[in-house]
Structure 1
Amino acid sequence: MTAQIGQMVRELLAGDLNAYPERTKALDEQGWNAFGEIVGAAFYRAVAQMLTPQADVAAFVAAAAAPYAQTPVAIDPSAAEALVRSVLGDDATVGQVLEQLDEPDLARIELVLLRRLIEDGNGAIKVDALVDSAQDEAAEFSGEAGVS
């Protein structure tokens, strides 16, 4: 399953992110778990690679969110900022965010931010390598490691 979900993540990162609701509507609980694990691992790696604790997180989030305002993938800036800050070591507000968001909302926010990190990276972040690595982590976590 992680291979199929990984492909979906690649397609969403490379294609039209506004297709997120349609592309993910058939996911069941197990599918959402795998999707969330892959997106979360990719998000964590990309933030850690591209941003520093001194980064202007609010400006980054605003730039990432702007293209998706008033669309099905619009994000809550305060939640997005808390997620980024948690990766950078400031987890003071992320607990409240995680309590309020379900897996689809969390993954949507992380995908929007990932798209911006990939764009800002000017090729430093390779989508296939990022998703492959995240997919491997998710497969290990789910017990699918070594399963084709």
Structure 2
Amino acid sequence: MSDGDPRIDISISDDHIATLRAFLVLDSGWEELVSQLAQRGSLGGFAELGRAAFVVAVRRRFFSWSVAEIVRFVSAVRVRLLQDDIEIDPSTAESLIRSALGDVSQVDLDPDKIGSAQLLLLGELIFERDLNDAELDDFLNLARRFAAGRIGDDL
């Protein structure tokens, strides 16, 4: 971070990467990893990595986009998640995606819904891409670099 930058410098550790990876591959132990991060006071790095991974995944999925395409995607995600009795607020989901794409008009989000919606959407975006282990590792490393500000917003 440069002088005068109001952002907090949160480092992304290998533990953060391992925890997000466990979530994305549906490893049942991912919640225990989150608990361990919480006990160490290290959830900030995990949250920042999750946010960065979400932005990277959204920008890759919706390279060129329309509101209708986002609505269709969120609708399909909601149908898949409801099969497991998981609900996601469509307005929050659509706003998060549009915000990640640079649509600054999306500002009124319920803070209690953002984190879980981002993780659920990220999981669906990664599932849709059907990444192998090496591709997932590459994606997580890209997200880590994006979170650290080592690559620009243009991905």
Q: TM-score, normalised by structure 2?
A: 0.69
Count of residue pairs brought into register by the alignment: 134
Q: Given the alignment, which residue of 73, 97, 103 partners 1:90?
A: 103
- Higher percent of residues as helix: 1
Amino acid at match of 1:89: G
The CA distance in 2 between the partners of 1:70 and 1:28, in whole Å, is: 33
Structure 1: where are the runs of 5+ without partners? Answer: 142-148
Q: Describe the shift of the 1:67–1:23 C-alpha distance in structure 2 as closer, same or farther (beyond 3 A).
A: farther
Alpha-carbon separation, structure 2, partners of 1:10 and 1:113: 15
Does structure 2 conserve the Cα–Cα contact (< 8 Å) formed by 1:65 and 1:112? no
CA distance in 2, matches of 1:73, 1:10: 20
Q: Give distance in 2, aligned partners of 1:20 and 1:101.
A: 23
Q: Which has the larger radius of gyration?
A: 2
Task: Give 1:85 shift.
Answer: 0.8
5+ residue gaps in structure 2?
A: 1-11, 150-155
Question: Does residue 61 of structure 2 align to residue 53 of structure 1?
Answer: no
CA positional deviation for 1:101: 1.3
Q: Which amino acid letter does the alignment assign opposite residue 24 of structure 1?
A: V
Gap change, CA 1:49 and 1:112, over 3 Å in 2: same
Paired residue for 1:121?
129
2:66 is the counterpart of 1:41: no
